[in-house]
Structure 1
Amino acid sequence: MSKRRTVAVIGLGIGRSHIDEGYARLRDQFDLQVICDLNEERLAAVGDEFSVPRRTTSFDEVLAMDDIDIVDICTPPTLHFPQIMAALAAGKQVICEKPLVGSLHEVDQLAATEATSRGRTMPIFQYRFGNGLQKARRIIETGLAGKPYLATIETAWLRGPNYYAVPWRGRFETELGGALLTHAIHSHDILTWLMGDIAEVFARTATRVNAIEVEDCAVASLVMQSGALASLAATLGSAKEISRIRLCFEHVTFESSLSPYAPGDDPWQIIATSPEAEARIAKALEGFKFVPSRFEGLMAAYHQALETDSPLPVTLKDARRSLELITALYHAAETGEAVVLPIGKDHPKYRSWRPAATAPR
């Protein structure tokens, strides 16, 4: 019989979605015992909505609760690193929203700490889950897709003054970045999850939609380790919101649904280059089981990993790869030069990808 894990959710903005789409649908696996938020009105509203027995404004109080197994951190980005470190020190399992931390230096520190901790950290990349993307993943993992050729990734969302009225948003000091870090990071994670590591990055960024400090438009050109090419485009000024992932391989082309916030869901186009490839792909998908979307799919896979002590569905290695791309994108945009990966400890942006004028000293 599987263990029902007790959970505390810290921060009830996106944290409410973790509850609504994840824990509330997976009550046999998770027992949401505690919510924590500085906004007492929101704390009461979410607590009443989901009948949460314990509510507090104190993160330290949560860490002192011996009966809590998992601390799920959904606070502003600059709080993630110290809160993850504190939760690991308290012996908790940790889930944390993106961006996981604010530098490659910090994610490396987390990895070192986790190696000697009782708990593990799962970064959040819920867009990996859904039937369409999971079918593509299976086809690629079996080797049936063949050589990767080209990828085009579009994140065309809409964010305006109301979104940026939240004081910590739109500033490098508190949000740590803009469209590339906070929005397009999901689709860019899917790119590397399906097509592998990146060798070189060139990028340009601009702030054209909102009166903010961070970028809200960006384009980038990538060379993958495999030799495949990829283009990235992101804007927060699209009247029609879409996320589009198109991946061209030797034997098949994949194209995602256009759903902006659930690109992993069906319908995905899976177009084989020949009848023979189509038959092999159909056979590989025989017996494919439904994969829930977004947080439900992610949290179900997470619980299974805890039960079996197997690799988490999203790991610190995944987060580091994502943050390495972020570091390269910002450095390329700032310098006007291509950036070669991997990025090591001697790189000028290893301790912070923020522009020189806003970087911590």
Structure 2
Amino acid sequence: MRTWNIGIIGAGMVADFHARSIQHISNARLTGICGAGSGRAGTLAKQYNCREFPNYQAMLRSPEIDIVTIATPSGLHMEPAVEAALQGKHVLCEKPLDISPERIDTMIAAHAKAGTRLGGFFNYRFTDTVHLLKDAIEKERFGTITFASIHVPWWRSDAYYAHKWRGTLALDGGGAMMNQAIHMVDLLQYLVGPIDSLHAYTATLAHQIEAEDTATAILRFKNKALGSVYGSTASFPGQLRYISITGTKGTVILEDNSVKMWQFADEVAEDAQIRRQYATTTGSGGGASNPSAIPFELHAKNIAAFILAVETGEPFEIEGKEARKAVEIILAMYISAKENRSFQF
């Protein structure tokens, strides 16, 4: 079995999740890491017994490296992703893929031309409960889906935003929606389908930042269902995120990774087991108030799925074009809020 040598570009908090994840994948090896000069890359390289590269250009020129993960600030994703394509390296990039459709399209085009793979991190997709929910939708157990909503009532302190790039439009691309709620926006479109139109409001109510810390929108999906979105980093003390989907024959509510409601008109034998097995959320609450309080195992599943796609040539479910969709929806919310109008996709 081939071992895939992986380098990490970026040495902030999320790089540690990538490093731990790679160490738990049997056919992957963490080969190197590079940062922006803070010294953290050297610390991580010693911790994980890998090479510290002076910059991403040097890493991408290394014949050792097969795949890179990108964990830099959001507005700095495109440049290393494009350079990686030019150097023949596959890329798995943190969310958001980048902060504008134009920059994302440049990334996608570069990898399409090079014949390399570009994928994104949306690790919530790899939970058992999301798999079960997706299966129920595909089996049409909801009948006609009538409403779907996501709720991300999280909290971030002023200290969190003391990092100079957080909450900025140039490097973060936005606030609570683009950085925190984007995972749930991805799940909403992944599960319920494309959005037809939305009307949004955004506000900065609790923090001295350039971007929003609170946002909401009403939606109409292409399948005629209605929906809503709420995302915030101004909801003390931070509560669990949830997604709710309801229709003419069923309702499911997932809170974090647990099942709070799983009820269908046409009950099957597995339903009772699902309610029992996933009734309780374990762990720390998915980063509701502490961004580091998330399990690394879902990142590991995301990386392993990408490696499998590279090995086999099969599609990866979060290819560049798929990872782009959540960014497009959030930017539509920003336009709608700024111009006080509905946005039509």
Residue equivalent to 1:330: 334
2:91/2:118 contact within 8 Å kept? yes
Residue equivalent to 1:15: 15
Residue equivalent to 2:343: 339
Deviations 1:196-245 (A, max 9, x none): 00000100000011011110011110100001111111111221332111
Provide runs of 4+ in structure 1 moved above 6 Å. none
TM-score of the pair, normalised by structure 2 = 0.88
Q: What's the CA shift for 1:41? A: 3.1
Residue equivalent to 1:273: 264
Q: Mapping of 1:134-213 within 5 angstroms?
A: 134-213=131-210
Deviations 1:245-264 (A, max 9, x none): 1111333211112xxxxx3x
Q: What's the CA shift for 1:158? A: 1.0
Letter in 1 for 2:305: A
Q: Mapping of 1:22-41 within 5 angstroms?
A: 22-26=21-25, 28-41=26-39
Q: 1:268 to 1:215 in 2, by over 3 A?
A: same
Residue equivalent to 2:283: none
Is 1:229 paired with 2:233? no
1:305/1:311 contact within 8 Å kept? yes
SS in 2 for 1:254: strand
Letter in 1 for 2:334: Y
Residue equivalent to 1:87: 84
1:309 to 313, 319, 333: 313
SS in 2 for 1:133: helix
Q: Distance in 1 between matches of 2:269 and 2:32?
A: 48
Q: What's the CA shift for 1:280? A: 7.0
Is 1:98 paired with 2:95? yes
Residue equivalent to 1:348: none
Q: What's the CA shift for 1:146? A: 2.9
1:129/1:293 contact within 8 Å kept? no
TM-score of the pair, normalised by structure 1 = 0.84
Residue equivalent to 2:289: none
- The root-mean-square deviation of aligned C-alpha atoms, in Å, is 2.1
Residue equivalent to 1:74: 71
Q: What's the CA shift for 1:138? A: 1.7
Q: What's the CA shift for 1:147? A: 2.0
Q: Distance in 2 between matches of 1:270 and 1:211?
A: 38
Using the aligned pairs only, state the percent identity: 29
- Structure 1, unaligned stretches of length 5 or more? 258-262, 286-291, 342-361
1:160/1:209 contact within 8 Å kept? no
Q: Distance in 1 between matches of 2:38 and 2:172?
A: 23
2:78/2:106 contact within 8 Å kept? no
